[in-house]
Amino acid sequence: MSSQKQPDAVHIDENSKDAQLASKRMDPTGSFLTTDQGIRVEHTDDSLKIGARGPTLLEDFHFREKMTRFDHERIPERVVHARGSAAHGYFQPYESQAKYTRAKFLQDPARKTPVFVRFSTVAGSRGSADTVRDVRGFAVKFYTEEGNFDLVGNNIPVFFIQDGIKFPDIIHAAKPEPHHEMPQAQTAHDSFWDFVSLVPETLHMIMWTMSDRAIPRSFRMMQGFGVHTFRFIDAKNVSRFVKFHWKPLLGTHSLVWDEAQKLAGKDPDFHRRDLFEAIEQGDFPEYELGVQIVEEADAQKLGVDLLDATKLIPEEVAPVLPVGKLTLNRNPTNFFAETEQVAFCVANIVPGIDFTDDPLMQARLFSYLDTQLTRLGGPNFAELPINRPLAPVHNHQQDGFGRHTSNVGRANYHPNSLGGGCPFLAGQQQGGFVHQPEQVTGQKLRARPESFKDHYSQAALFFRSLSAPEQEHLIDACRFELGKVESKAIQERVLEHFAKIDALLVTAVAEGLGLPAPKATPAAPKGPPASKALSMEAMKLQMPPSIKTRRIAVLVADGVDSDELMAVRKELEAQGAQLKIIAKRLGTVKAANGKDLPVDKSAMTTASVEYDAVFIPGGAASVATLKKDGESRHFVQEAYLHCKTVGVSKDAEDLLKACEIDPAAPGVVSGAGSGSGSALATAFAKALSNHRHWDRKDHDRVPA
Helix/strand/coil for 170:
helix
Q: 124: part of which helix (H) or strand (E)?
A: none
- Which residues make Cβ contacts (< 8 Å) with residue 120, sequence separation at least 6? 78, 81, 82, 83, 84, 85, 136, 137, 139
Helix/strand/coil for 8:
coil
The yes-or-no verdict on residue 198 having pLDDT over 50 is yes
Domain annotation for the chain: domains and CATH numbers: 32-70 (no CATH), 84-383 (2.40.180.10), 544-701 (3.40.50.880)
pLDDT grade for 676, boundaries at 50, 70 and 90: confident
Q: What is the mean pLDDT of the chain?
A: 93
pLDDT in tens, 150-178: 999 999 999 999 999 999 999 999 999 99
pLDDT grade for 15, boundaries at 50, 70 and 90: low
Q: What is the mean pLDDT of residues 20-43?
A: 75
pLDDT in tens, 286-330: 999 999 999 999 999 998 999 999 999 999 999 999 999 999 999
User: How long is the chain?
Assistant: 704
pLDDT grade for 692, boundaries at 50, 70 and 90: very high
Q: Kindly report the number of other CB atoms within 10 A of residue 147's CB atom.
A: 18
DSSP structural state of residue 433: -
The yes-or-no verdict on residue 444 having pLDDT over 90 is no
Please give the model's pTM, rounded to 2 decimal places: 0.92
Residue 436 to residue 440: CA distance in whole angstroms: 12
Planar angle of CA 568, 573, 574, nearest 5 degrees = 100
Residue 532 backbone zone (phi > 0: left; psi -120 to 50: alpha; other: beta): alpha
Q: Which amino acid is at 300?
A: Q
Phi, psi of 533, rounded to the nearest 5 degrees: -70, -15
CA nearest neighbour of 320 among 236, 224, 235: 224
Cα–Cα distances (Å) from 242 to 159, 232, 239, 295, 303, in that order, read 17, 6, 10, 9, 16
pLDDT in tens, 74-90: 899 999 999 999 999 99
User: Hey, which residues are catalytic here?
Assistant: 81, 154
Residue 55 to residue 654: CA distance in whole angstroms: 71
Q: Is the Cβ–Cβ distance between 648 and 640 less than 8 Å?
A: no
